[in-house]
Amino acid sequence: MHTKILIIGSGPAGYSAAIYAARSALKPILIAGQQPGGQLTITTDVENYPGFAEVIQGPWLMEQMKEQAKSVGVEIIDDYITDIDLKIRPFSAVGAGGTIYTAESVIISTGAQAKWLGLPSEEKFKGFGVSGCATCDGFFYKNKKVIVVGGGNSALEEALYLTQHAAEVILIHRRDTLRAEKISQDRLFNNPKIKVVRNTVIEEVLGAEDPLSVTGVRLRDILTGKEYTMDIDGVFVAIGHKPNTALFAGQLDLDEDMYIVTKKGTTLTSIPGVFAAGDAQDKIYRQAVTAAGTGCMAALDALKYLQE
């Protein structure tokens, strides 16, 4: 299958890019990927996406974006890319079923995924008290008690942000010392709402069944082996994000954390005709609205490239 624009990934960035490309009469093909709709499909309440006065559901929002893309003529294919060659034009990609897609330009919107603790109980309560994004879900914990897991810059940023809403924030770190920058640590230790618990890990997330909600955690002191429970209302896992970019390693310029490097103020990558949008290249904001914005940018950048 050949197209002028091949869009890889179907989150807010991919769907937005597809909508703009289709409206420019470029007849894009969008490959939905292994998690169609991206991270929003595992997010329940969305309250910060512009245009909706009432709380909406993440999966519903992605379904609406998908339907809008289809309505303007985007060809959406339920497949995922297993191999890609960006060294030769036209670019070529191979789908899981063996289909070969060739394209004059490529927009990469494969997103990223939060790193999780790997606990069955964590999986059970994702979206029901367990979150990987404080700026997305912090508002729901006004005057409540929450835990942030991690010791790096992102964990401290999450903890500090949550103090704007929560009554108490407890930072749980498995080591004795934090890895974050000193300025972030100073802010953390000077905030009266934050308590730091070191040398401790979460063994289990505890909660209620009806309605499904987090009520506490079972913790273990790794120095003594002692286990104890703590009553809390929410768990924020902040041990980093992993962009879904391994497919492009060795072809595109990636930074030390595997995010695609783009030219400042654009979605241009190190290869002309290849563009990156959303969380695959954004390690700072990681919001649905910013992903959608860069998807728009990628489509316009691709249009300009094709015209030239």
Q: Is 137 a catalytic residue?
A: yes
In this structure, the answer to whether residues 96 and 139 fall within a common structural domain is: no
Least confident of 53-57, 74-78, 291-295, 297-301: 53-57
Cα distances (Å, whole numbers) of residue 87 to 28, 119, 130, 159: 21, 41, 42, 43
Q: What share of the chain has pLDDT > 90, as a percent?
A: 85
Handedness of CA 281, 287, 290, 294 (dihedral sign): positive
In this structure, the answer to whether residues 105 and 60 fall within a common structural domain is: yes
For residue 182, the enclosing domain spans: 117-238
Structure tokens at 225: 């082996």
Q: Which of 45, 79, 83, 136 is flagged as catalytic?
A: 136
How confident is the model over 82-91, as a mean pLDDT?
Answer: 96
In this structure, the answer to whether residues 12 and 62 fall within a common structural domain is: yes
Length of the chain in terms of residues written: 308
DSSP of 162-179, one letter per residue?
HTTT-SEEEEE-SSSS--
Question: In terms of pLDDT, which residue wins out, 45 or 225?
Answer: 225
Domain boundary among the residues 189, 204, 238 is at 238
C-alpha–C-alpha distance, residues 286 and 115, integer Å: 14
Say which CATH number the domain at 74 has. 3.50.50.60
Q: Look at residue 44 in the predicted model and tell me its pLDDT.
A: 67
Structure tokens at 197: 């618990």
Q: What is the pLDDT of residues 155-214, one digit of tens each?
A: 998 999 999 999 999 999 999 999 888 998 999 999 999 999 999 999 999 999 999 999
Asked if 181 and 205 count as a contact pair (C-beta separation under 8 A), the reply is: no
In this structure, the answer to whether residues 131 and 220 fall within a common structural domain is: yes
In this structure, the answer to whether residues 185 and 36 fall within a common structural domain is: no
In this structure, the answer to whether residues 131 and 88 fall within a common structural domain is: no
In this structure, the answer to whether residues 38 and 108 fall within a common structural domain is: yes
Asked if 235 and 214 count as a contact pair (C-beta separation under 8 A), the reply is: yes
Mean of the per-residue pLDDT values for the chain?
Answer: 95
Q: Which of 78, 83, 137, 253 is flagged as catalytic?
A: 137
Q: Which residues of 152-165 are buried (b: 16+ CB within 10 A; e: fewer)?
A: bbbbbbbbbbbbeb
Q: What is the pLDDT of residues 234-287, one digit of tens each?
A: 999 999 889 999 999 999 999 999 999 999 999 999 999 999 999 999 988 888
C-alpha–C-alpha distance, residues 26 and 18, integer Å: 9
In this structure, the answer to whether residues 164 and 204 fall within a common structural domain is: yes
How confident is the model over 66-82, as a mean pLDDT?
Answer: 97
Q: Look at residue 17 in the predicted model and tell me its pLDDT.
A: 98
**Which residues touch 232 (CB under 8 Å, ≥6 apart)?**
145, 146, 147, 170, 214, 215, 216, 217
Q: Which of 79, 83, 85, 133 is flagged as catalytic?
A: 133
In this structure, the answer to whether residues 31 and 180 fall within a common structural domain is: no
- Asked if residue 290 has pLDDT above 90, the reply is yes
Torsion (CA) 43, 46, 48, 51 in degrees, nearest 10: 130
C-alpha–C-alpha distance, residues 174 and 167, integer Å: 23
Domain boundary among the residues 197, 213, 238 is at 238
Q: Look at residue 41 in the predicted model and tell me its pLDDT.
A: 81
C-alpha–C-alpha distance, residues 102 and 209, integer Å: 49
Q: Look at residue 114 in the predicted model and tell me its pLDDT.
A: 82
Least confident of 121-125, 135-139, 146-150, 275-279: 135-139
Q: Is 296 a catalytic residue?
A: no
Asked if 127 and 43 count as a contact pair (C-beta separation under 8 A), the reply is: yes
In this structure, the answer to whether residues 40 and 140 fall within a common structural domain is: no
The Cβ of residue 261 has, within 10 Å, a number of other Cβ atoms equal to 14
In this structure, the answer to whether residues 252 and 213 fall within a common structural domain is: no
Pairing type for strands 112-114 and 130-131 reads: unpaired
What are the φ/ψ torsions at residue 169 (nearest 5 degrees)? -125, 125
Domain boundary among the residues 215, 238, 261 is at 238
C-alpha–C-alpha distance, residues 176 and 199, integer Å: 5
Structurally, the chain folds into a number of domains equal to 2
pTM of the model: 0.78
C-alpha–C-alpha distance, residues 77 and 176, integer Å: 48
Nearest to 294 by CA among 94, 286, 237: 286
Asked if 28 and 19 count as a contact pair (C-beta separation under 8 A), the reply is: no
In this structure, the answer to whether residues 225 and 261 fall within a common structural domain is: no
